[in-house]
């Protein structure tokens, strides 16, 4: 059976929206015991070999509290391309990975406190385009390692849809001062939504995200209070992610309809958040 252009475009939009797994992460889970507080060391990867860190985990009342401290970090933006920030994940056996939030970096250190319902997992820190990503990229910089005999964790990693300038930050300068990546994240989120076909499949939603980005950039150029800029940037990211998701859903409907109505794929490029 000949597959029509709408179907092919729908498949392309899905691929760009969610990416193809470049590889599958495999690790050994840390197991938390009710009422006990333990510390799990985090080992660095070749992406950021100088980094170090640890995660203190405590299981109480069906929730696991996680306190992650990182050292010798470098800004994720140094990877170039679409990478802007670091995200903390827990990945239980059988998945899926759970995004616990953005890890802020100041000087060369980072810290984040979060919680999860799961009690057996691997803790990962990965470089990402923005803080609302739904699956870890292949740019993992730190990971925990559980005792032998604990459950094995497997997680598909995504990066084929992300651009980058370098694959490792070895021998790259460390951060000085607090790293602000809110505007870059907003800019990239809108760009990724455009790549996923939102320009055709979720045009109104993408336009809304673009207007929010324009407002973010205006605040940035006017040198408004950092908290105001950050709030507007996060709203932009939320809208861009919603547009991307809708584009993916409509693309999937198009593939199911075979030669019926499908969606197209078009890109949208924003302006450099640095004003260049």
**Looking at the domain assignment, is residue 163 inside a domain?**
no
Q: What is the mean pLDDT of the chain?
A: 88
238-274, pLDDT tens digit by residue? 999 999 999 999 998 886 664 444 444 434 444 444 4
- Rounded Cα distance between 89 and 72, Å, is 19
Whether residues 241 and 128 share a domain: the answer is no
Whether residues 116 and 31 share a domain: the answer is yes
Could you count the other beta carbons within 10 Å of the beta carbon of residue 26?
Answer: 10
- Average the pLDDT over each of 52-61, 197-206, 247-256 and give the range with the smallest value: 247-256
Range of the domain at 62: 25-158
Q: How many domains does the chain have?
A: 2
Mean pLDDT across 204-220: 98
Whether residues 116 and 29 share a domain: the answer is yes
152-169, pLDDT tens digit by residue? 999 999 978 899 999 999
- Average the pLDDT over each of 24-28, 67-71, 146-150 and give the range with the smallest value: 146-150
Task: Tell me the whole-structure pTM to 2 decimals.
Answer: 0.86
Whether residues 79 and 9 share a domain: the answer is no
Q: Is the per-residue pLDDT at 130 higher than 90?
A: yes
Query: Which residue do the tokens 């794929």 mark?
Result: 265
Mean pLDDT across 74-87: 97
Helix ranges (DSSP H) in 160-225: 182-195, 198-201, 203-221
Whether residues 129 and 231 share a domain: the answer is no
Whether residues 63 and 148 share a domain: the answer is yes
**Looking at the domain assignment, is residue 164 inside a domain?**
no
**The pLDDT of residue 48:** 97
108: region left, alpha or beta (phi > 0 left; psi from -120 to 50 alpha): alpha
- Rounded Cα distance between 19 and 159, Å, is 7
Handedness of CA 140, 144, 149, 154 (dihedral sign): negative
**The pLDDT of residue 176:** 78
- Rounded Cα distance between 78 and 75, Å, is 6
**Prior bond of 96 cis (ω within 30°):** yes
């Amino acid at each position: 059976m000949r597959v029509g252009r709408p179907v092919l475009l729908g498949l392309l939009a899905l691929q760009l929206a969610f990416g193809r797994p470049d590889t599958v992460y495999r690790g050994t889970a840390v197991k938390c015991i009710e009422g006990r507080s333990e510390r799990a060391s985090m080992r660095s990867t070749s992406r950021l070999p100088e980094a170090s860190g640890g995660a203190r985990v405590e299981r109480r009342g069906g929730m696991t509290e996680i306190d992650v401290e990182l050292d010798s970090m470098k800004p994720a933006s140094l990877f170039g391309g679409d990478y802007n920030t670091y995200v903390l994940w827990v990945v239980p056996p059988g998945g899926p990975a759970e995004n616990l939030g953005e890890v802020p970096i100041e000087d060369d250190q980072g810290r984040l406190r979060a919680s999860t319902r799961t009690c057996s997992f691997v803790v990962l820190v990965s470089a990402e385009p923005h803080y609302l990503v739904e699956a870890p990229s292949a740019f993992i910089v730190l990971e925990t390692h559980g005792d032998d005999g604990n459950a094995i964790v497997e997680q598909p990693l995504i990066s084929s849809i992300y651009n980058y300038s370098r694959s490792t930050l070895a021998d790259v300068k460390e951060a000085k001062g607090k790293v602000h990546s809110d505007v870059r994240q907003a800019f990239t989120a809108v760009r990724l939504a455009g790549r996923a076909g939102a320009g055709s499949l979720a045009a109104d939603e993408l336009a809304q995200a673009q207007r929010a980005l324009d407002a973010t950039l205006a605040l940035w150029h006017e040198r408004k209070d950092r908290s105001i800029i950050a709030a507007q940037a996060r709203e932009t990211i939320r809208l861009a992610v919603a547009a991307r998701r809708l584009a993916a859903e409509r693309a999937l409907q198009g593939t199911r309809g075979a030669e019926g109505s499908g969606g197209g794929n078009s890109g949208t490029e924003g302006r450099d958040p640095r004003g260049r």
